[in-house]
Structure 1
Amino acid sequence: MSKRAVMIIIVLVVSMVAGMAFAKEGYNLIFNDLKGHWAEEVITEFALSHLVDGYSDGSFRPQTYMTRAEFCRILAQVYRETGKINQESLIREQKAEVASKIAEAVKKYYRENNFTYPVEIYNSMVQWQKISLPMLKDRYLSSVENLEEYDYYLRADTQVIASYYRDVSPNDWFFEDVTQLYELGLDLSTDSLFHPNQPITREEAAKILVMSIDAVGEGSFNINYADLGECSNPAVVKRAIELCLMKGYADNTFKPDQPLTRAEAVTVLKNYALLVGSKNA
């Protein structure tokens, strides 16, 4: 992938962030609160690309926190722009891998609309490990003969997501983004809640980004921020740092529970887009 293509991905990604006051008609490229800010160059880069704007008072508000929904929208857009999300190929793979197992499960366990979870229904794909009972009792599964007509992909859009994340509705502006991330095996829940309007913490962002790229592994033992012991999963944070997605602060802390700011989010997602772009080159 060329540098120009990567840059296009980056600016397109940033333009999708909800609630970040992007320009509709005309652009105000003078942000009165960015001079001397550590992210001034990155934010200005996006502004000069005519894709990001500030607020009506001339500010960018780089220290305003980003919500979980906004962050996931950016991540999903990166996936789409880099070709990681390909709905058609996903459907083909899911049908090939799952159809026979579901058919056998239906034959053995479907009795008068009384379905219990069989071991046979599960497989290695994370999204199929969270199938809900209502989907299995769908009228299309009442007979094995109709199984091939069942649209497997719709299960997440209308059933699994809405039931698994109790605070997410198909009418939400971020529903498609969360659905596609879920399809790829990214579990964004906290006790079956997504908390879309809650600021995303630095550790949460690290976990989502790392798990979307590769396995966590053990992480580097050479990364020793003073507060790594406060992380719920230090290996995730270490891996995010190894991949140059995120870094700590000058006081030798990572601040895992601190919400991610707009400035940090723009910087982190730029790093992510560049990394994903290089992996797909």
Structure 2
Amino acid sequence: MSKRNRRIISVVLCFLFCFNLFIPVYSAQAEPLTLAENLSDIQGHWAENTIKKWLRQNLVAGYPDGSFKPDQSITRAEFVAIVNRVFNYTQKAVVQFTDLSPEEWYIDDLAKAVAAGYINGYPDGTFRPEQTITRQEVAAILTQIFSLEGTTEELKKFKD
């Protein structure tokens, strides 16, 4: 793997990991909260400025109860929604995961992720959208998006 690819991976992973714990996304029942001042729990938070910036860029939004939950881990569905917004994925494919309901807020985002080719789900045919996303899953998604390849020897350097 070239130094350039390693740098790109490092920057993207750092960026995503830094915000992994405080990035909720739009909910189907939620009215989009465009003003950060309306969110009850970001005032004084260490990531307040970044949250406000991401709100202005429509990358994230608050929850229906007027909160943002900046210290809550994000789910697999929330992460997919953010990736789609960051990379501006718009094409959709048929989603055939067995654990989804067509009424859920994240169905369109999963259709975009499937079309973009960066998610496959689990071997049992599920996606587990409400499950917290792991660092390993984030790394796998980024590897797909950036078409990265590594050798087994390179990967053995990492403990997790």
What is the TM-score when the length of structure 2 is the normalising length?
Answer: 0.67
Residue matched to 1:196:
70
Measure how far apart 1:239 and its partner are. 1.0
Measure how far apart 1:250 and its partner are. 0.1
Alpha carbons of structure 1 residues 15 and 202: separation in structure 2 relative to 1, 3 Å: closer
Percent identical residues: 21
Residue matched to 1:8:
7
Residue matched to 1:225:
97
1:65-214 maps to which residues of 2 (within 5 A)?
A: 67-69=21-23, 130=34, 160-161=35-36, 163-169=37-43, 171-191=44-64, 192-214=66-88
1: distance between equivalents of 2:14 and 2:88? 26
Where does structure 1 lack aligned partners over 5 or more consecutive residues? 20-65, 73-128, 131-159, 276-281
Residue matched to 2:109:
236
Q: Is the 8 A contact 2:89 2:112 kept in 1?
A: no
2: distance between equivalents of 1:5 and 1:13? 12
Q: Is the 8 A contact 1:167 1:195 kept in 2?
A: yes
Where does structure 2 lack aligned partners over 5 or more consecutive residues? 26-32, 148-160
Q: Is the 8 A contact 1:168 1:194 kept in 2?
A: yes
Measure how far apart 1:67 and its partner are. 2.2
Runs of 4 or more consecutive aligned structure 1 residues displaced over 6 Å after TM superposition: none
Q: Aligned with 1:212: secondary structure?
A: helix
Q: Is the 8 A contact 2:89 2:113 kept in 1?
A: no
More helix per residue: 1 or 2? 1
Q: Is the 8 A contact 2:84 2:90 kept in 1?
A: yes
2: distance between equivalents of 1:183 and 1:248? 31
1: distance between equivalents of 2:113 and 2:5? 20
Q: Read off the aligned partner of 2:113 and give its amino acid letter.
A: A
1:235-274 maps to which residues of 2 (within 5 A)?
A: 235-272=108-145, 274=146
Q: Read off the aligned partner of 1:182 and give its amino acid letter.
A: L
Q: Read off the aligned partner of 2:99 and give its amino acid letter.
A: D
1: distance between equivalents of 2:142 and 2:41? 25
User: How big is the alpha-carbon RMSD for the aligned residues of Structure 1 and Structure 2?
Assistant: 3.2
Measure how far apart 1:197 and its partner are. 1.6
Measure how far apart 1:201 and its partner are. 1.1
Measure how far apart 1:241 and its partner are. 2.2
What is the TM-score when the length of structure 1 is the normalising length?
Answer: 0.41
Structure number with greater Rg is: 1
